[in-house]
Homo-oligomer: A and B are copies of this chain.
Amino acid sequence: MLVRRTDLADEAHALWKESAGETSALSGVRAREGRREGFPVTRVDILDQRGAEALGKPEGHYITLGLEGLMEREDGAFPRAVRALAGELSGLLASLPPLAPVLVAGLGNRSITPDAVGPKVAGLTLATRHLIHSAPEHFAAYRPVSSLAPGVLGSTGIESAELLSALSGAVRPACVIAVDALAARSLRRVCRTVQLSDTGIVPGSGVGNHRKALNQETLGVPVVAVGVPTVVDAATLCADVLEEAGQAALSPQALPDAGRPVIVTPREIDQDVEDLSKAVAFGINLALHPQLSLEDLEVLLS
Q: A111 to chain B: which residues have CB within 8 Å? A: 123, 270-271
Give the one of A73, A130, A144 with max B CB within 10 A. A130
> Given the known A-B contacts A148-B163, A242-B242, A267-B262, are A157 and B169 also in contact in the complex, defined by CB atoms under 8 Å?
no
- Kindly identify which residue among B76, B147, B150, B187 contacts A258, using a CB–CB cutoff of 8 Å: B187
Q: Chain B residue with minimal CB distance to A235?
A: B241
Known: A186-B256, A187-B262, A245-B245. 6 other contacts (CB 8 A): A129-B158, A130-B154, A146-B157, A187-B234, A232-B262, A241-B242
A-B contacts, 28 listed (Cβ < 8 Å)? A75-B295, A111-B271, A128-B157, A130-B153, A146-B158, A147-B155, A147-B156, A148-B156, A158-B167, A162-B170, A163-B167, A166-B169, A187-B234, A187-B262, A188-B257, A190-B258, A207-B267, A208-B267, A237-B237, A238-B238, A240-B256, A241-B255, A245-B245, A245-B251, A245-B254, A246-B247, A262-B265, A275-B302
Write the residues of chain A forming the contact surface with B, with a CB cutoff of 8 angstroms: 68, 73, 75-76, 111-113, 122-123, 127-131, 144-151, 153-159, 162-163, 165-167, 169-171, 186-188, 190, 207-208, 231-232, 234, 237-238, 240-242, 244-247, 251, 254-271, 274-275, 295, 299, 302
